[in-house]
Amino acid sequence: MSWLFFSSPFAFFVFINIPLASSFVGYTSCSNKFNCGEITNVGFPFWGYGRPESCGYPELNLTCSESVTTIGIMGVQYRVLKINQEAEETLKLVRDDYYDKICSPKFGDTKLNSNLFDYVSGSVDVKLLYDCISSSQRDFSCPKDETYGNVAAVLPAFPVPLMCKSQMVIRIQDAMSFSIFSSKNVTELEQAVREGFEVKYKVDSAKCDECVGSKGVCGYDWGLSETVCHCPNQSSASRNCSATAEAIDNPVLPSAKVARQDYWRTICPQTYVNTNINFSLFNYSSGLTNLTFYYACNTSITIPGLGDNFTSQVCSTNNGNITVWSFTQSPPVDPVAARACTTGISVPVFTTAAQALMASQKTIQEVVDEGFELGLEIDNVQCNNCSESGGKCGLNTTSGGFSCFCQDQAYATTCNAKGSSV
């Protein structure tokens, strides 16, 4: 994810999302398919290799090297043997470190993120034991120049001998288990492992199907953790692009989702600066509330009516630790005026996030990092007209007014507008 920064005269902000710019880019970039070797025509919920991260789930990143597709799951790298994006929604995988040989493992046990994957029926766990001394299992000699000298395959319930250098749990197709336990040498063992196993990925397919049915392209908002629908001329927050005509008649005002840079992943900024914006460029969107932080508070001072409607934390500073009080609603008495605290800072947050904080469903840091929305004070209709004429919206630095940059020259309104060249 890329970050953009801007500053007001009083505070710096980080852009989390800019819906106005994401529409056409998201639609075109997520229309691209992943193609690598024998794995072709792969779309949502996967991303990578020509498909930006906004096109798929964070954990479903496909990489391509020398016509080989790989994916990382729970710290283990797998080769992707097959992807079925039809009704089954399955991946056929084999551990990358076990594809050519099984005596030099590079990763830990084979494990899945149960929130995103399920094993397909017909596969089983197998335990590989390395360099065991005096045990009852059947060992095979490993090729020279590998990490271990011998290997044995046993069922997971098999008691591991005390004198084994290492053990590893892997997954194989159930049909291959007989081949593994009846293998005559390490080569046959490797061939059985190389067949791989299948997993089912669990995503919001219904929402994506509805999006595609309305001529949209599916993507994924990492910040909100939900499927989004990219439409030809807008990025839809709804399930589909059916609202396109309504959006044209009633265009949504452009906005930017931002967060305080000095409060990013901390509530202990180096300096205390209140949130202020340039109202000639921005406005506060609806659905916001202030989260107020009071710094260097004296816990021995009692403020009437304060109750327990706040949280207390500690910040480390160059002058030692200080107490920080956080309020989602204005306190009955200003702690600064009561000389209980030295400084008060207001940070806008989404009202829904503040309510989740009060219900103990989110932490203070999660609420602040979620940011807040600013409306952009620009002529969106004028920019849409310029874009529809084939131009790019910009600024006339001489007059300070709008310019439509076209292939031949810049115009004041739209491309090829008579008598409006800049």
The 10s digit of each residue's pLDDT in 317-357 is 888 899 999 988 888 888 998 899 999 999 999 988 888 88
The pLDDT score that the predictor gives to residue 245 is: 40
Same domain, 372 and 385: no
Same domain, 155 and 70: yes
Give the total number of structural domains in the chain: 3
Q: What is the DSSP string of 379-403?
A: -HHHHHHHHHTT-EEEE-TTTSSEE
Structural domain contains residue 126: yes
Whole-angstrom distance, CA of residue 422 vs CA of residue 420: 6
Judged on CB neighbours under 10 Å (0-12, 13-18, 19+), 276 is: exposed
| Short-list 239, 121, 125, 292, CA closest to 193 | 125
Structural domain contains residue 312: yes
Q: Among positive and negative, which fits the CA dihedral 380, 384, 385, 391? A: positive
Same domain, 261 and 324: yes
Same domain, 273 and 190: no
C-alpha triplet 373, 374, 377: angle, nearest 5°: 155
Q: Tell me which residue range forms the domain holding 394.
A: 380-411
Tell me the average pLDDT across 151-160.
80
Q: Which pLDDT band holds residue 181 (cuts at 50, 70, 90)?
A: low
Strand (E) or helix (H) holding 405: strand 402-405
The pLDDT score that the predictor gives to residue 388 is: 75
Same domain, 115 and 97: yes
The pLDDT score that the predictor gives to residue 296 is: 93
Structural domain contains residue 328: yes
Structural domain contains residue 141: yes
Structural domain contains residue 67: yes
Q: Where are the beta strands (DSSP E) in 18-107?
A: 34-36, 39-42, 62-65, 68-73, 76-84, 90-95
Same domain, 115 and 171: yes
Structural domain contains residue 307: yes
Structural domain contains residue 316: yes
Specify the higher pLDDT residue, 394 or 196.
196
pLDDT in tens, 35-62: 999 999 999 999 998 888 889 999 999 9
Judged on CB neighbours under 10 Å (0-12, 13-18, 19+), 232 is: middle
pLDDT in tens, 305-316: 777 778 889 999
The pLDDT score that the predictor gives to residue 292 is: 92
Structural domain contains residue 22: no
Whole-angstrom distance, CA of residue 76 vs CA of residue 159: 25
Same domain, 345 and 407: no
Same domain, 128 and 177: yes
- Reported residue count of the chain is 422
Tokens of 2: 């890329």
Same domain, 371 and 384: no
Same domain, 190 and 73: yes
The pLDDT score that the predictor gives to residue 118 is: 92
Same domain, 326 and 407: no
| Short-list 378, 382, 372, CA closest to 417 | 382
Same domain, 366 and 264: yes
